Structure 1
Amino acid sequence: MKTVFAHRGISTLAPENTLAAFALCKPHGIGWIECDVDILADGTVVVSHDDTLDRCTDRSGSLYDLQAGDLAQIDAGSWFADQYMGERIPTLAQLITLVNQDQLNINVEIKSCSAGWAMTERLIDNVIAALDHLDDGRQLIVSSFNHQALAEFKRRRPQTAVACLYEAGQLGEDWLAVLQQCQAEFIHPADHGLTQQMIGDFKAAGYRVNVYTVNDLARANQLFNWGVDGVFTDIPHCFPAKYRAIGS
């Protein structure tokens, strides 16, 4: 079964990484979502790609200066469209409630916390605590570009499948050793520059392969024909129904 992941929710129809974007998945028959998580000063895990507010809210500044109580005053939707005015940055706990309610599967990307290793460890611990509230039957992958953090997450929660993320051009000859060190089940490479040979090498080594970010249906089809297991996309609702089955 090939998988389509809603990248930050259906992020072309609603503001990325908001409950509004994730809530659109079930009505469109999309079974898998992808989100990014980082941490506030008080340890609250929030769903946000950036560690600053500047790009996707009506405020400027660092996540690491905020408390949970500040979220109610931050608008994360009006930049996208009038109808999303007042949309908030969600906590991971809030997203997990939605995932359970809508019976979604979830890929949680742990961001490379720029506040330092101590905060990264706190992020890992608090992500684990939140994930303990996922219902039985919900499928889960945890991924990160920070392979040290990913290995530490896997050490603390070995039952969870993990994925090593790689930016375009960053796949070195040591990729297999890195995946083994992280005890990863998946590799998540960037689409740009990805070749059939590379995918063949990943598959031959026993890894499942999910590629980001694929917003072209013909390219997605090519990747699937090369043996890719899944793609992350901003337009999951545009994919044929065979890729969008809830629970797949």
Structure 2
Amino acid sequence: MKTLFAHRGMSSLAPENTLAAFSLTPEYGLNWVECDVDVLADGTVVLSHDETLDRCTDRPGSLYDLTVDDLDDIDAGSWFGDAFIGERIPTFAEFIELANKLKLNINVEIKSCTGGWAQTESLIDGVIEGLKKLDKDRDILISSFNVLALAEFKRRCPDTSVACLFGKETLEADWLAVLQACQADAIHVENKGLTKEMVLEMKDHGYAVNVYTVNHLARANQLFNWGVDGVFTDVGHTFPSRYRNV
């Protein structure tokens, strides 16, 4: 069974990384979601791709200057559409509660904190604590571009699957050593520039291969025929039923 990951939720139908976006996934037959997590000044883990508010809320500023009490005053939905006015930046705890309710499997991307290692450790602490509340029958995959953060998470949670993230520009010849150092179970690679030969080499080394972000059906079909295990997509609702639980 090939996996479709709802990239930041159903992010072409609702504002990314919001509870509204994740709530739509069962309606369209997807049971895997991908989210991004970062940490506020008070240690609260929240869902956000960016470390700033500028792109996906009604105000500018840094996440790292906020506490959980500030979230009620931030609108993370009106930029996307009137139907989402007042949508909040979710905490990781709220996301886990929703995943349990909707029986979602989760890929959590730990962002690369620019505030330093202490902040990164705070983020890892919060993710580990939050995952304790996830129902035991849910599948978990933790990913990151930050190999030090990923290795530290794996050291502390050796039974949880992890994936190293690579962009086209960061996929160097030492990718295998990086995966081995992180004790990774999977590799997540950028769609752009990915070839069949690269996929086959990754598979030959025993790794699951998931590709981001794939929004064209013909390209997704090609990747799956090459042996790719899953793709991240913003448009999961457009994929035929052979890829969805419908």
User: Which bin holds the TM-score, normalised by the shorter protein?
Assistant: over 0.9
Aligned to 2:181: 181
- Match for 1:67: what amino acid? T
Distance 1:48 1:86 in 2: 16
Partner of residue 196, structure 1: 196
One-letter code aligned to 2:227: G
SS in 2 for 1:27: helix
Distance in 1 between the 2:43 and 2:136 partners?
26
Give me the whole-angstrom Cα distance separating, in 1, the residues matched to 2:242 and 2:46: 32
- In the TM superposition, what is the alpha-carbon distance from 1:242 to its structure 2 partner? 2.1
Distance 1:71 1:9 in 2: 20
TM (norm. structure 2) is 0.99
Task: Measure the CA separation in 2 of the matches of 1:190 and 1:114.
Answer: 22
Distance (Å, rounded) in 2 between the aligned partners of 1:186 and 1:238: 26
**8 Å CA contact retained: 1:169, 1:193:** no
- How many aligned residue pairs are there? 246
* Cα drift, residue 168 of structure 1: 1.1
TM-score of the superposed pair, with normalisation by structure 1: 0.98
CA separation in 2, counterparts of 1:11 and 1:172?
A: 30
Q: How does 1:34-73 map to 2 (within 5 A)?
A: 34-73=34-73
Partners of 2:239 and 2:73 lie apart in 1 by 36
Verify the 8 A CA contact 1:56 1:77 in the aligned structure 2: yes
Alignment correspondent of 1:245 = 245
- SS of 2:141's equivalent in the other structure is strand
Contact 1:209 / 1:229 at 8 angstroms: preserved in 2?
Answer: yes
Alignment partners' CA distance in 2, 1:168 and 1:144: 15
State the distance in 2 between where 1:237 and 1:103 align: 18
> Partner letter of residue 161 of structure 2?
A
Unpaired segments ≥5 residues, structure 2:
none
CA deviation profile, 1:83-116 (whole Å, cap 9, x unmatched)? 1000000001100101000001000000001111
Give distance in 2, aligned partners of 1:142 and 1:201: 22
The residue type paired with residue 87 of structure 1 is: E
For residue 175 of structure 1, what is the amino acid of its counterpart?
Answer: W
Q: Deviations over 1:140-186 (max 9, x none)?
A: 10000001110000001111100000011211111110000000000
Partner of 2:101: 101
The aligned residue for residue 220 of structure 1 is 220
Q: Moved runs in structure 1, 4+ residues, more than 4 A?
A: none
> In structure 2, what is the Cα distance between the partners aligned to 1:132 and 1:114?
26
| 2:168 paired residue number | 168
Cα pair 1:33 1:105 within 8 Å, conserved: yes
